[in-house]
Chain A
Amino acid sequence: MHMADALLAPAVAATMYAASAVTVGASVRTLKKDENMAKLPTMAVTSALVFAGQMINYTIPGTGSSGHLCGGMLLSSLLGPQAGFLSMVVILAIQALFFADGGLLALGANCWNMAFYGCFVGYYLLWRPIMGSKLFQGLGAKGAGRAKIILASVLGCVITLQLGAFSVVLETSLSGITELPFGTFAGIMQPIHLAIGLVEGLITSAVLVFVYEARPELIMDVASAEGESRYSLKTTIVILAVVAAIVGGGLSLFASANPDGLEWSMFGNAESGYSENMGLDEENYGISSGAAEVASSIQDKTAFLPDYAFAGSDSAAGTSVSGLVGSAIVAAVAIAVCMAGGFFRKKKEYANA
């Protein structure tokens, strides 16, 4: 789900950076208030562990494929939401910088899509209510704790991944990158991430249950899971129902085949010139191939590269061809630079030897 730089318009990327930066600031403030520097090495070691753990292949029984670990829920249930979020940010930054997994400009969006939902939404709306609830009372203290951990991590991974995937669709569509209509794109992304989220949730719950058996004090809110409950069963169910309604309702509303709200926000609300700059073409947006003739007739009239003509050239095609020739020259220069560099380097190595 790591987004690359190319999938984001600068305006969207900057917005997501701002949102993530505010969350980082708030998290750092909360952690500093605790004055608990002992947590820092634990955060570092745990995030390094999650980073390495994401590379382990877990065989899914009955299928030939394998699943992977979900970082956000695991980190926030071990470290708390604020420390978990910062650890996730660091993991994403290292993946972007050293492994080209996600981009430097897209880091803000990636932090939001993967860390914010996984840590804050997953913790405050799912983990804590479920762990503090009176669910599974019949299973005894240990059994109830185990069942709650499984329920919370599976639900948490599924829901936060759905939110993340939906954000990817929203950000890409707002950036005007893909020709896919919004509903179709969401229709592809959401089911895929439902399956991924389920497997990730099961792996996360397996790891957490193991830790719970051995060292329960390492897991957040375990005391409330075993001792007196902070939330009654009714409160928990109400919280879960609200979450389900928001997620389900919100997603189906946006993913409907006729995304009026989104189109309004993309075109109706845009400042003059913005949609052009972003490469958005209102008349042509989301039109299926069947209506291509209509689109082309409209497009003939709208002449969509108006700033492309330059003095001395009268035909639009001539401008494009000269542009292409220019591009070819740039490419040739680039190749020449590479070859010259390689040539000189080899010579230098030879001279050194």
Chain B
Amino acid sequence: MDKLSGAQAELREMDALAAADSPVHRLHPLCKLLVTILYIAVTVSFPKYDFNGLMVMLLYPVLLFQAAGIPVRLCFYRLRMVLPLVCAVGIANPFLDPVPLMRLGGLPVTGGMVSMVTLMMKGIFSLMASFLLIATTPIDALCAALRKLHVPGLLVTLLLLTYRYIGLMLREVAVMTEAYHLRAPGQRGIHISAWGSFLGQLLLRSMDRAEELYGSMLLRGFRGEFHYADIPACRASGVVFTMVCTAAILTARFVRITTLLGSLFVR
């Protein structure tokens, strides 16, 4: 099935990206996590009409994508998830807020138009930043960073284990769906007579599998906590990266860079 194999392909792609090597990949995961959260928080904090101020924020993901050697276009496929809801919320703005803010070559630009575009930009920018984080940081390194932030070990272990099993479950459900469709040609989804048994059977099998899994974990000496990736202590590069990015992000928020830049050309 399309959605299932698509999800598997996406997981594989992210794993491959995160396994590559670049200056951004080598940064300490905790530094990347903190800077990403700061970037997203600052990006969404721009006022709803401040399109110009927001545009400067584009530079952070674009520069880091290049430094990491990841083409920007890779993350645009993912926008299909983010944009529909953002658009649904923002699409009414041009109709409800028709007060012209300025005129551009005779055409009025209304507040609603500006706020809608700004909203979409915020969605795109925060997606780019979180994509960048996950495309340059393997999941176990991220989990180690979360442990450093004192996220409960139970939750982090659960995250790691679930991530490990999602690939397996996706494959299993994909096989089952394909088998079902081969025996029920012309049907688009699961018929109501099989609603319960389809996932129910897999559920029963998975519960047994979980018991076996726990047994094998115990045999290998599991005592309630995993050993995460050995992330080295934060080096100077991580500290410098965090400080430079924090300074740059805060500058972009509080200094009107685009206006200053534009005033060099337009009086």
Contact = CB atoms under 8 A, between A and B. Distances in A.
A206 B191 CA distance: 12
B103 A94 contact: no
A41 interface: yes
B70 to A, nearest CB: 9
B242 interface: no
A158 to B, nearest CB: 17
B168 interface: yes
A28 B56 contact: no
B99 A295 contact: yes
B170 interface: yes
A192 B195 CA distance: 22
Interface residues of B, number: 121
Interface in A258-299: 276-279, 284, 287-289, 292, 295-296, 299
Given A6-B44, A292-B98, A329 B262 contact: yes
B189 interface: yes
A327 B266 contact: no
Interface string A109-138: 000000000000000000000000000000
A221 interface: no
Nearest to A172: B89
A25 B199 CA distance: 31
A4 B85 contact: yes
A232 interface: no
A207 interface: yes
B257 interface: yes
Interface residues of A, number: 115
A69 B195 CA distance: 10
The A contact surface, by secondary structure, is helix
A31 B10 contact: no
A42 B196 CA distance: 20
A324 B52 contact: yes
Contacts of B129: 104
Interface string A299-329: 1000011001010110011111111111111
Interface in A156-204: 172, 176-180, 202-203
B117 to A, nearest CB: 11
Contact of B190 (A57, A176, A210, A289): A57
A4 B203 contact: no
Interface string B52-88: 1101101100110110010110010011011001100
Contacts of B119: 6-7, 177
Interface in B193-212: 195-204, 206-207, 209-211
Interface string A314-350: 0011111111111111110110011011100100000
B97 interface: yes
B200 A40 contact: no
Contacts, number: 361
A348 to B, nearest CB: 9
Interface stretch (B23-31, B33-41, B227-235): B33-41
A238 interface: no
B267 interface: yes
Nearest to B97: A179
B59 A334 contact: yes
B188 A41 contact: no
A44 B162 contact: yes
Contact of A341 (B66, B177, B210): B66
Contacts of B78: 99-100
Nearest to B159: A90
Given A47-B158, A99-B7, A180 B79 contact: no
Contacts of A97: 130, 133-134, 142
A317 B189 CA distance: 55
Contact of A40 (B104, B158, B188, B206): B158
Contacts of A215: 204, 207
A21 B37 CA distance: 16
Contacts of B62: 334, 337-338
A318 B82 CA distance: 34
Contact of A2 (B81, B93, B159): B81
Contact of A329 (B75, B213, B261): B261
A59 B45 CA distance: 42
B214 to A, nearest CB: 4
B172 interface: yes
B220 interface: no
A136 to B, nearest CB: 19
Interface in B1-46: 1, 3-4, 7, 10-11, 14, 36-37, 40-41, 43-45
B49 A326 contact: no
A7 B87 CA distance: 10
A257 B63 CA distance: 47
Residue among B86, B130, B173, B259 having the largest count of chain A Cβ atoms under 10 Å:
B259
A316 B52 CA distance: 14
B103 A317 contact: yes
A211 interface: yes
Nearest to B96: A179
B217 A3 contact: no
Given A9-B45, A211-B203, A345-B69, A289 B162 contact: no
Interface of A: 2-10, 13, 24-25, 28, 31-32, 37-38, 40-49, 51-53, 55-61, 66, 69, 78, 86-87, 89-91, 93-94, 96-101, 103-105, 172, 176-180, 202-203, 206-211, 214-215, 218, 276-279, 284, 287-289, 292, 295-296, 299, 304-305, 308, 310, 312-313, 316-331, 333-334, 337-338, 340-342, 345
